[in-house]
């Protein structure tokens, strides 16, 4: 059926919303090159990563990205298929997410981590759904960094209405990812895609609100990501959105990218705490590393991104979490150039859709021995034995379409894991093993996970 239509893939996604597992099984059964549609191939080879997505790749974004429009003046950065136009517009986003900008955002993140720690401390001895709390934190950070708006989910212990609508849309996207033309049709039919119209209106209102603040401000120094786009518009920079609709689409992208950066960060944090709870010796080793780096009673301001990025075991835990549970498990589609593309011994015809699924590649025993096992040491003293192909690790994608928010996501993961590990001991809540959390993760374009009930206790040293 795959040779005729992509609907079979959508049916797979609808049945259990675990297309990443379906792909893994197909590759196990049929090999490294699997036809998943009339002109689509899934590839389980590290060599395909750079050839399809690297800086020098001749591949482009396929029509999957055109479900809004193919007019570059009406679409977001992410939906811009022209490599040249994408390169120009990406510059403003790169400035907003740059290492230079991170120190502006870090105090806001530190404050939110303080609130998270305080909320956990007030619930010691009670089963706590860490998934829920890391998601609250992730979206609060997205609002503060993206728009200087605080959703206050952590303080209120409740999901903001706009975020709830966004989660509904991402479930639809995950199911219909294999058949993007259906998204285009449904998008034009009122009422068929839930609260999508309300979500679009919310995004447009936030853009208008922030634009008015920017124009009224005497200072033109950006303090959030959307302000970098306004600055580019004011300066008539080539990186500016090429029109009002493109700006509104970028605003929507900022929230969705925030969802992809921060929601996936929230999910990654939940996954990290699952692995750390399942492997208590790893957690104790992490606590020892943190104790050696920061004396008891250290100011929390000293536990910052610059200091934490120097801790090898913390970095290894983050890498191993992202290897086993990558943000976009079934990969992002690319289109081969008209002249075709040679990948190892296989020639792929031109204008073919190719996907390199991270979940499949990053768990392959040929590239990572004991690929399904959580072993942080594989990134340290066991690297020679347990990392056979570093090119098979690409959790943030590569090249011109790589994740613009990578450094912000890593900063968030470092701060949250470190602060919680210093403050608390953790275990599964009574009657819980975490197996359902691990087994039932959904592929809704990005990973979606269920509740993870943990028991937090004050640190015993």
Alpha-carbon distance values, 437 to 45, 181, 433 (Å): 29, 32, 9
Report which of 334, 376, 379, 330 is spatially closest to residue 353, judged by C-alpha positions: 334
User: How remote is the C-alpha of 45 from its chain's centroid?
Assistant: 22
Average pLDDT, the chain: 86
Residues belonging to the binding site are 403
Q: By residue range, what is the domain housing residue 318?
A: 6-458
- 46, 391 contact by CB (below 8 A): yes
**Count of all residues that appear for the chain in the document:** 461
pLDDT one-digit tens code per residue, 313-340: 999 999 999 999 998 999 999 999 999 9
According to the model, what pLDDT value does residue 14 have? 54
Residue 367 lies in a domain: yes
As a whole number of Å, the CA-based R_g of the chain is 22
DSSP letter, residue 261: I
According to the model, what pLDDT value does residue 74 have? 63
10 Å Cβ neighbour count for 133? 25
Site of tokens 């502006």: 104
Rounded-to-integer distance, Cα 267 and Cα 413, Å: 10
According to the model, what pLDDT value does residue 337 have? 96
pTM (2 decimals)? Answer: 0.89
Percent of the chain residues past pLDDT 70, beyond the cut: 83
Rounded-to-integer distance, Cα 413 and Cα 318, Å: 8
Residue 81 lies in a domain: yes
According to the model, what pLDDT value does residue 104 have? 94
Residue 257 lies in a domain: yes
Site of tokens 């968030």: 412
Measured at the alpha carbon of residue 154, what is the angle toward residues 171 and 205, in degrees to the nearest 5? 60
216 burial level (CB within 10 Å; 0-12, 13-18, 19+): exposed
According to the model, what pLDDT value does residue 69 have? 57
Residue 398 lies in a domain: yes
Rounded-to-integer distance, Cα 94 and Cα 163, Å: 25
pLDDT at 458 over 90: yes
Assign residue 203 the CATH number of its domain: 1.10.630.10
Residue 200 lies in a domain: yes
10 Å Cβ neighbour count for 422? 19
Residues belonging to the binding site for heme are 403
Sheet holding 40-43, edge to edge: 33-37, 40-43, 353-355, 334-335
Rounded-to-integer distance, Cα 13 and Cα 60, Å: 25
* Run of H or E residues at 347: strand 346-348
| Domain count of the fold of the chain | 1
Of the ranges 120-134, 188-202, 249-263, 293-307, which one carries the lowest mean pLDDT score?
A: 188-202
Rounded-to-integer distance, Cα 57 and Cα 49, Å: 9
Contacts of 328 (CB under 8 A, 6+ apart): 260, 264, 358, 397, 445, 446
Rounded-to-integer distance, Cα 89 and Cα 87, Å: 6
- 254, 147 contact by CB (below 8 A): yes
Report which of 305, 348, 358 is spatially closest to residue 327, judged by C-alpha positions: 358
10 Å Cβ neighbour count for 13? 24
Of the ranges 34-43, 82-91, 121-130, 311-320, which one carries the lowest mean pLDDT score?
A: 82-91
DSSP letter, residue 416: H
According to the model, what pLDDT value does residue 389 have? 95
pLDDT one-digit tens code per residue, 193-238: 455 566 667 777 888 888 899 988 877 889 999 999 999 999 999 9
Rounded-to-integer distance, Cα 436 and Cα 355, Å: 28
- 207, 225 contact by CB (below 8 A): no
Encoded tokens for 27 = 């590759």
Residue 156 lies in a domain: yes
Residue 32 lies in a domain: yes
According to the model, what pLDDT value does residue 62 have? 85
Encoded tokens for 263 = 């929601």
Helices assigned H by DSSP within 17-60: 19-30, 47-53
If one compares 79 and 27, the residue with the highest pLDDT of the two is 27
Encoded tokens for 218 = 């005497």
Encoded tokens for 244 = 């009002």
SS3 of 167, please?
helix
- 448, 266 contact by CB (below 8 A): no
DSSP per residue over 130-148, as a string?
HHHHHHHHHHHHHHHHHHS
Residue 1 lies in a domain: no
10 Å Cβ neighbour count for 278? 16
């Amino acid at each position: 059926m795959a040779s005729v239509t992509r609907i079979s893939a959508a049916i797979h996604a609808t049945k259990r919303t675990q297309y990443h597992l379906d792909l893994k099984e197909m590759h196990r059964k049929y090999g490294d090159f699997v036809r998943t549609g009339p002109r689509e191939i899934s590839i389980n080879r590290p060599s395909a990563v750079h050839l399809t997505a690297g800086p020098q790749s001749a591949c482009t974004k396929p029509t999957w990205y055109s479900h809004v429009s193919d007019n570059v003046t009406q679409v977001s950065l992410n939906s811009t298929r022209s490599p040249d136009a994408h390169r120009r517009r990406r510059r403003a986003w790169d400035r907003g997410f740059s290492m230079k900008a991170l120190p502006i955002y870090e105090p806001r993140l530190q404050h939110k981590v303080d609130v998270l720690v305080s909320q956990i401390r007030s619930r010691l001895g009670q089963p706590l759904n860490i998934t829920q709390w890391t998601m609250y934190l992730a979206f609060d950070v997205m609002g503060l960094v993206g728009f200087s708006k605080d959703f206050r989910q952590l303080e209120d212990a409740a999901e903001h209405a706009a975020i709830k609508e966004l989660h509904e849309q991402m479930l639809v996207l995950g199911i219909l990812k294999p058949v993007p033309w259906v998204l285009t049709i449904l998008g034009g039919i009122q009422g068929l895609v839930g609260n999508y119209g309300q979500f679009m209106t919310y995004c447009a209102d936030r853009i208008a609100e922030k634009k008015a603040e920017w124009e009224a401000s005497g200072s033109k120094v950006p303090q959030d990501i959307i302000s970098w786009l306004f600055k580019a518009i004011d300066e008539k920079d080539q990186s500016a959105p090429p029109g009002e609709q493109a700006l509104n689409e970028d605003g929507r992208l900022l929230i969705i990218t925030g969802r992809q950066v921060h929601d996936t960060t929230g999910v990654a944090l939940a996954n990290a705490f699952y692995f750390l709870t399942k492997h208590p010796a790893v957690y104790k080793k992490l606590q020892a590393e943190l104790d050696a780096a920061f004396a008891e009673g250290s100011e929390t301001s000293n536990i910052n991104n610059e200091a934490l990025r120097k801790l090898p075991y913390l970095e290894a835990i983050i890498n191993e979490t992202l290897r086993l549970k990558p943000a976009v498990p079934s990969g992002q589609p690319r289109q081969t150039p008209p002249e075709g593309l040679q990948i190892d011994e296989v020639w792929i015809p031109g204008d073919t859709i190719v996907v390199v699924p991270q979940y499949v590649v990053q768990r392959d025993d040929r590239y990572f021995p004991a690929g399904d096992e959580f072993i942080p040491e594989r990134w340290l003293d066991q690297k020679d034995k347990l990392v056979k192909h570093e090119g098979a690790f690409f959790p943030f994608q590569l090249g011109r379409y790589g994740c613009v928010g990578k450094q912000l996501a890593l900063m968030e993961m470092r701060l949250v894991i470190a602060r919680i590990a210093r403050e608390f001991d953790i275990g599964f809540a009574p009657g819980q093993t975490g197996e359902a959390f691990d087994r039932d993760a959904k592929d809704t374009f990005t990973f979606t996970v269920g509740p993870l009930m943990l028991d937090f206790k004050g640190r015993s040293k």
